[in-house]
Structure 1
Amino acid sequence: MADQTVPEPVASFLEAVNRHDEAAFLDAFAEDGAVDDWGRVFTGREQIKGWSDGEFIGARGTLAVEEVEVSGSTITVIGDWRSQHANGRSRFDFEVDGDTLTRMTIREG
């Protein structure tokens, strides 16, 4: 079984997501951070917020972590995503710079 220990800053980010804490979710990203949601890219906190309002935090999403992998500055989390927008096993690749997320890429898990 894969390790399920999620390193920081992704662990705190996922806790914020699961409690639907929009401020903590947005604060986790660098000012010029990006979300790539299945090829649709949202850059900067304003665009990320707009996307999230309908499809992530605003959709009351939660992630149950199943697998975690660390490779350099990339932390990959695979888990069961549940929300009012979409559901199913998903892969989240987080690019990290110190204690900040620079990019989150979402794709099929």
Structure 2
Amino acid sequence: MTIPDPIRHFLEATNAGDTEAFLDTFTSDASLSDWGRSFQGREQIAGWNQSDNIGVQSHLRIVRIAAAEGTYRVRIAVTGNGFNGEGDMTFTLHGDRIASLVIA
């Protein structure tokens, strides 16, 4: 399956440590849920990015991706100075941006 551009840009920005490009992958009113912790809008997502993603030098690799009912479920392998291992990310896209990301 071809990786949708917003998801590909999300991974590329994270792996490059490019916070501005990372935040640009989200809609202005996007939501992010990380194991029940909720973040609404780019400002809160920027805080999550600093504490849990680029701020801990995360490197992301897609293990598998599947489209289902308007979403993309992506199994991600994570390495860095925070969480290390695999997890599922469910992306809902709006145009060329991410409207919702659920990490579980």
| Shorter-chain TM-score range | over 0.9
Contact 2:60–2:76, Cα closer than 8 Å, also in 1: yes
The secondary structure found in structure 2 opposite 1:9 is helix
Task: Tell me the matched-pair count.
Answer: 104
Q: TM-score, normalised by structure 1?
A: 0.89
Q: Map 1:12-27; keep pairs closer than 5 Å.
A: 12-27=9-24
43, 49, 52: which one aligns with 1:52: 49
Structure 1 residue ranges (4+ consecutive) displaced by more than 3 angstroms after TM superposition: none
Q: What is the deviation of 1:72? A: 3.7
Comparing 81-90 and 37-46, the one that deviates more: 81-90
Q: Structure 2: how far apart are the matches of 1:52 and 1:78?
A: 19
1:67 lines up with 2:49 in the alignment: no
Match of 2:73 among 73, 76, 84: 76
Q: What CA distance in whole angstroms lies between the structure 2 residues aligned with 1:42 and 1:61?
A: 19
Bigger Cα displacement from structure 2, 91-100 vs 72-81: 72-81
Matched residues, percent identical?
Answer: 37
Cα RMSD for the two superposed structures: 1.2
Structure 2 gap ranges (5+) = none
TM-score by length of 2: 0.92
The structure whose residues are more often helix, as a share, is 2
Q: List gaps (5 residues or longer) in structure 1.
A: none
- The alignment partner of 2:56 has SS state of coil
Q: 1:82: how far off?
A: 1.2
Q: Note the C-alpha offset of 1:53.
A: 0.6
| Residue 73 of structure 1, CA deviation | 2.5
Report the Cα distance in structure 1 between the residues aligned to 2:86 and 2:96, rounded to whole angstroms. 26
Shift of the alpha carbon at 1:104?
0.8
**Partners of 1:38 and 1:72 in 2: CA distance:** 21
Q: Determine the C-alpha separation between the residues in 1 that align with 2:13 and 2:49.
A: 13
